[in-house]
Structure formats: structure tokens, C-alpha cells
Amino acid sequence: MRDGGDLRRERHVVKAKAKRIFIGLIVVGALLQLVQPDRVNPAVEPARDWLASNAPPARVVGSLRAACYDCHSNETKWPWYSRVSPVSWWIVDHIKDGRKHLNFSDWPHDNPRKARSRWQNIQDEIESGGMPLKSYTWIHSEARLSTTDRAELTEWADAEVKRLNQLMAESDGK
């Protein structure tokens, strides 16, 4: 049977261990801040941006800029938490991956087939609710697309697909 002194010593040992673990976590967290990934926004060439090919309605531009541009363009607005490791590593990797799959700042104006494919993918992702990602819209409420926004974007994407199909048919018919 233990007496009161033994229990106090055990509590003291547990508190001391908890304190060391807490301090260790603070030190590791602070050291992680020394390892920061590059947050890069490559230069934007206005002639390469998707807006250079066909002027969409202002609401479409606004919706795409709010919901898509942070991950799918060279115009990323880096939030404060993109400077906090290890979250920063995930965000930078996510944006690199987003730009690799679709980059509105590097639109294939000279390749209608590729542009059509991109619009079809955009339409599919928006219709299915796959984009914008839920993890993004939790924090960025301005990126949430209403049913009306989704309908306008998919209608615009469909119109672009049809326009590009016509352009390709005319080009092939020459």
C-alpha cells in the first residue's frame, strides 16, 4: 500500500515528464519553422492567360478566380498559414500539383484540342463537386460555389467546348 508521499512523488514525476514532452514539442515545432518550402508565383504573361482567348462573362471570371486561381494559376495568394511548417509543405505541394494538372496562367491557346480537353475536365470536376476541394472551401468561404455558380461555370465550359469543336472542324475542313 502506498502512502500520500508516494502518490505526490508519482504525480511530480508525471508532471515533470509531461513538461519535458511539451517543451520538446515546442522546440521541434520551432525548428520545423527553419525548413520552409519555396512559395513561388511564376511570372504571368497576359497573352498566355485563359482570359486572352475569349472574354467570359464577369460572373464566370469572378467565380473561377475565387474558386480556382489560388491552386490553378500563377496568381496564388499565399495565406499566413502557408508559412507555418509542416502545413506549408502540404500547401506548397498541393499548389504545385494543382498547377501541373491545370494552370489558367498557361492556357494552350495554340492547341484547341488541349484547351477543349481542359474545359471538359473543368466541367466534369465542377458538376461532380470534385472542385473546389472541400478542404479548401472550409477555410476559404469565398471559394464555395453556389448551385447557380456551378451552373454558370459548366454552361460556360460547355459553350467553350462547342466553340473549340467548331474551330477544329473549320480548321480540319480547310
Are residues 79 and 112 located together in one domain of the fold? yes
Cα(92)–Cα(165) distance, rounded to whole angstroms? 35
Q: Is residue 41 assigned to a domain?
A: no
What phi, psi does 44 have (nearest 5°)? -100, 125
Are residues 59 and 142 located together in one domain of the fold? yes
Contact (CB, 8 A) for 133 and 101: no
Are residues 114 and 83 located together in one domain of the fold? yes
Number of domains in the chain: 2
Are residues 62 and 22 located together in one domain of the fold? no
Are residues 25 and 104 located together in one domain of the fold? no
Average pLDDT score over residue span 16-44: 81
Least confident of 36-40, 121-125, 163-167: 36-40
- What pLDDT is attached to residue 124? 94
Cα(65)–Cα(74) distance, rounded to whole angstroms? 12
Q: Which residue has the higher pLDDT, 37 or 169?
A: 169
Are residues 24 and 55 located together in one domain of the fold? no
- What pLDDT is attached to residue 1? 54
Q: Which residue has the higher pLDDT, 109 or 6?
A: 109
Cα(133)–Cα(74) distance, rounded to whole angstroms? 18
Cα(30)–Cα(14) distance, rounded to whole angstroms? 24
Angle between helices 147-173 and 58-67 (to 10 degrees): 110
pTM: 0.76
Contact (CB, 8 A) for 127 and 150: yes
- What pLDDT is attached to residue 3? 66
Q: Is residue 37 assigned to a domain?
A: no
Cα(96)–Cα(72) distance, rounded to whole angstroms? 9
What residue type is 68 in one-letter code? C
- What pLDDT is attached to residue 101? 93
pLDDT exceeds 80 at position 174? no
Are residues 23 and 76 located together in one domain of the fold? no
Cα(84)–Cα(152) distance, rounded to whole angstroms? 36
Q: What's the sign of the alpha-carbon dihedral 90, 117, 131, 157?
A: positive
Q: What's the sign of the alpha-carbon dihedral 44, 45, 49, 54?
A: positive
pLDDT exceeds 80 at position 25? yes
Are residues 2 and 81 located together in one domain of the fold? no
pLDDT exceeds 90 at position 103? yes
Q: Which residue has the higher pLDDT, 158 or 2?
A: 158
Are residues 20 and 55 located together in one domain of the fold? no
Are residues 11 and 96 located together in one domain of the fold? no
- What pLDDT is attached to residue 4? 64
Which tens digit of pLDDT belongs to each residue from 48-66? 888 887 778 899 999 999 9
Are residues 10 and 64 located together in one domain of the fold? no
Which residue segment(s) compose the domain that 133 sits in? 46-173
